[in-house]
Amino acid sequence: MMFHNVIVRKPSKTLMEGITSAPELGKPDYELAVKQHDAYIAALKKCGVEVTELEPLEEFPDSCFVEDAAVVTRKCAIITNPGAASRNKEPEYIVDTIRKFYADDQIEYIKAPGTLEGGDVMMVGDHFYVGRSARTNEEGIRQFIEILEKYGLTGSEVTLKEVLHLKTGVNYLENNTFLVSGEFVDKDEFKDAKKIVIPEDEAYAANCIWVNGTVIVPEGYPKVAAAVKSAGYKVITTDTSEYRKIDGGLSCLSLRF
């Protein structure tokens, strides 16, 4: 499928207070994060999509990671219910924008006690893999798959042991080709996939995004960029160093549909 639209949200000045599992990387530099976000948008536009840029939400330091607030499919949009307490209200601020692209009867909601974050959802055609994580629970997955099936789509659960979100360690390109790292290299769910195995020292770069035949790769991971090029893809690199400091990557920064 081709992507036509992308939604992003500008980083807030409170970005440095975002959730992190890697405090040793230091606090994000806000000015640099803004420049990197602008470059990210430029990279997306080179892939032939229209970009809708939302204003920052200062009360939500992680809100630039707009992917976690909704899951957009070719038939419906699903507003999530993030498992991180500090992010739980973020989806309320995405609904009006989603309504510009989907009718009200195509917009669904994950409801408490279910939790689900978009970073745990990987779309492979009309099938959606859902990671069961600290942020996405069993009830959230149950609701999500029930919604998918209402629209003739399918979903399945993937258990996670080592990573924050599913797409931290596995990402789909196209034609049954996946980028895999760590625990996903030998996962049964992907045993029949064409795998581009990410070396451990560049594991962060497993989080690349395919956009209309081009793969956007985080800057500074030459082995991954070379492997993706060798698989026949055009590659654009863009720096996400400041977002890595608060557990974010390329896919986290946009909704693509």
Catalytic residue positions, numbered: 165, 252
Give the Cα separation of 162 and 45 in Å (integer). Answer: 33
Q: How many helices (H) and strands (E) does the chain have?
A: 6, 15
Q: Which residues pair with 211 in a beta bridge?
A: 214
Asked if residue 245 lies in contact with residue 28, where contact means CB atoms within 8 angstroms, the answer is yes
What's the Rg (C-alpha) of the chain?
17
Q: What is residue 81's DSSP assignment?
A: B
Asked if residue 80 lies in contact with residue 69, where contact means CB atoms within 8 angstroms, the answer is yes
Q: Would the CA dihedral through 207, 228, 47, 72 be positive or negative?
A: negative
Backbone angles phi, psi at 72, to 5 degrees: -110, 130
The beta-strand segments (E) located in 37-163 are: 50-54, 70-72, 77-79, 107-109, 121-124, 127-132, 154-159
Buried residues in 233-249 as b, exposed as e (16+ CB within 10 A):
bebbbbebbbbbbbbbb
